[in-house]
């Protein structure tokens, strides 16, 4: 692939690379994305609610039982492991080339692969907290507590109040410091590699506009709104792309 050689050369040239990742990066780890034919938003549910409705703040407050049934079934993947792309980006960070990973994903796989500077703009399923006493729980602990309740709602084992996942639901705002860190990292970068995202979810998709560096790289199976202005575009499975980069 001609563009693979271009990408290899650009990576060799740059020393302030930022990775901006979306759900398509984790599909090879067995985690479905949101908008594809087999994605979370297109799955048939046993109830009459839409997935987008269920993962909203107001729905969480009104129907925590339905929310948690969906959440633990469709959004928490305790057995998922980093794939070759997560590992490759972590290796580039270890070599001093990647300075930050900005991710829309909530699966913790970048960290599991070894990436250190990860900005999770939509939060993480591995962080959960009691809404009253703020005791923290990882994903496994929250899931185990949910199994003790007939409605599958995890309650704090310290004060008995409901636990909330530290993920950004619809109707909720992104964390301001995460936004600032993401934008500043992208603004300083000499290369921005956008991988596995259709760049349709705002405000995160708008972060790309802050990039002023030399190489804007888009690695995604389908077309994005930034394809026409990118320096390198590869429409393929990220697994195949990384296999070529590693040759």
How many residues belong to the chain? 247
Q: Which of 110, 122, 134, 235 is catalytic?
A: 122
Active site residue 122: yes
- Tokens coding 228: 């026409």
- Tokens coding 141: 């602990």
Round to whole Å and give the CA distance between 244 and 223: 21
DSSP per-residue letters across 143-211:
HHHHTTSTT---B-TTT-PBEEEEE--BT-PPPHHHHHHHHHHHHH-SEEEEES--S-STTGGGGGGG-
Positions annotated as catalytic residues are 122
């Amino acid at each position: 692939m001609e563009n693979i050689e271009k990408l290899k050369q650009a990576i060799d040239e740059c020393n302030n690379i930022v990775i901006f990742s979306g759900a398509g990066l984790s599909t090879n780890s067995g985690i479905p994305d949101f908008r594809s034919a087999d994605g979370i938003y297109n799955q048939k549910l046993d109830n009459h609610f839409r997935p987008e409705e269920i993962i909203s703040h107001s729905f969480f407050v009104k129907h925590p039982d339905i929310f948690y049934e969906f959440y633990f079934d469709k959004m928490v993947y305790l057995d998922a492991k980093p794939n070759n792309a997560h590992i490759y980006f972590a290796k580039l960070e270890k070599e001093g080339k990647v300075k930050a990973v900005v991710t829309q994903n909530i699966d913790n796989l970048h960290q599991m692969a070894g990436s250190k500077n990860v900005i999770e703009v939509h939060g993480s399923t591995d962080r959960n907290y009691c809404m009253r006493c703020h005791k923290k729980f990882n994903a496994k602990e929250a899931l185990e507590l949910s199994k003790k309740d007939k409605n599958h709602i995890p309650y704090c084992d310290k004060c008995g109040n409901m636990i909330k996942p530290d993920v950004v639901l619809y109707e909720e705002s992104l964390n301001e410091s995460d936004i600032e860190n993401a934008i500043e990292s992208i603004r300083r970068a000499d290369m921005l590699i956008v991988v596995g995202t259709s760049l349709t979810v705002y405000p995160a998709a708008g972060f790309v506009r802050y990039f002023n560096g030399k190489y804007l790289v888009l690695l995604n199976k389908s077309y994005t709104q930034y394809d026409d202005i990118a320096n390198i575009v590869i429409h393929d499975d990220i697994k195949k792309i990384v296999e070529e980069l590693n040759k």
